[in-house]
Amino acid sequence: MFSYVDKSIRVQLEAEGMMVTLDRQSRVVPSDDASAFLSVLGPVPIPRLIGGEEVTLEWYPFVRRTELSAVQNAARDGSPDAIRELLHSSMSVNSVFALPGLRGSPSPLVRIHSCCLTGDVFGSRRCDCGPQLEQAFEQIKADGQGAVVYMSGHEGRGIGLWAKAVTYLLQDAGHNTYQANTALGLPEDSRDFSDAAIALRYLLAGRALRLLSNNPDKRRQLEDNGQAVSSTVSLIAGVCEHNLRYMRAKRAKGHMMPDDL
């Protein structure tokens, strides 16, 4: 999946203001500009039930500008790391799901959510991801302004679904969630939130957001990439006997969680 579409359709979408190209500073640039980095599409209307009430969200998919030729050149050069990075960036189509009016919201409540197929889709209770996602939508709806940013390439804190499945077996044998990653020779957490910061800086025109998260690293990465954060709002959901060790491991890593989990 690459960032471009058929040229005639792309030109039409750009003329209608439904597709824009951003540089790393969130500035709109021509699609063929040398500084082109991120493509943002939308808004696409997405009707969704939140707390039993239908709400039509505004969907802004965004993806890095990776051309097929760049992948082909990396393959010819024989650099596995370069190929892996290009394929990861071009296949990770991330999303902003916003309440109507986000672009005019003075202080939106925003959740940056890393994808978790097992929790978000299959309903696994080994983590708190699925309940956090649902509660995030409900809190944002109750607040009246905001968005959920869904990062699709963050499975298992960046290791992917297959490796994540292996780490579950390692956790059952006694490792915590971070130790299981490193036992496979993988990082504890390799997630990159810079693309989310670029998209949000564009959509919010530089306005600060309130971050719905327990993870201080998300705030640090957003601020390091130019997106102002006025405050952090904790999000505790889905705590149960199946994920208590997981939650306590996150708390030990600095996540803002109560002592009486």
Tens digits of residue pLDDT in 9-35: 988 999 999 999 999 999 999 988 999
Class of domain 7-154+191-252: alpha beta
Residues in the chain, overall count: 261
28-29 and 38-41 as β-strands: parallel, antiparallel, unpaired? unpaired
What residue segments make up the domains of the chain, in order of their start? Answer: 7-154+191-252
> pTM for this one?
0.90
Whether residue 66 is predicted with pLDDT greater than 70 in this model: the reply is no
Helix, strand or coil, per DSSP, at residue 154: coil
pLDDT digits (tens, 9 = 90+) for 209-243: 999 999 999 999 999 999 999 999 999 999 999 99
Sign of the dihedral defined by the CA atoms of residues 221, 222, 228, 229, in that order: negative
Per-residue pLDDT at 91: 63
- Catalytic residues, which ones? 189, 191
Per-residue pLDDT at 92: 81
Whether residue 6 is predicted with pLDDT greater than 70 in this model: the reply is yes
Q: Are 100 and 200 contacting, i.e. CB atoms less than 8 angstroms apart?
A: no
DSSP 102: G
Compute the radius of gyration of the chain from its Cα atoms: 19
For the chain, helix, strand, coil in percent to 5 are 40, 20, 40
Whether residue 1 is predicted with pLDDT greater than 60 in this model: the reply is no
pLDDT digits (tens, 9 = 90+) for 68-94: 555 566 666 666 666 556 555 556 899
Mean pLDDT for the chain overall? 91
Per-residue pLDDT at 153: 87
Share of the chain above pLDDT 90, in %: 82
pLDDT digits (tens, 9 = 90+) for 111-120: 999 999 999 9
Per-residue pLDDT at 151: 97
**What is the DSSP code string of 189-240?**
-----HHHHHHHHHHHTT--EEEE-S-HHHHHHHHHTT--EEEEE-------
Listed in order, strand segments (DSSP E) in the chain are 19-22, 28-29, 38-41, 44-50, 53-64, 94-98, 109-114, 146-151, 209-212, 229-233
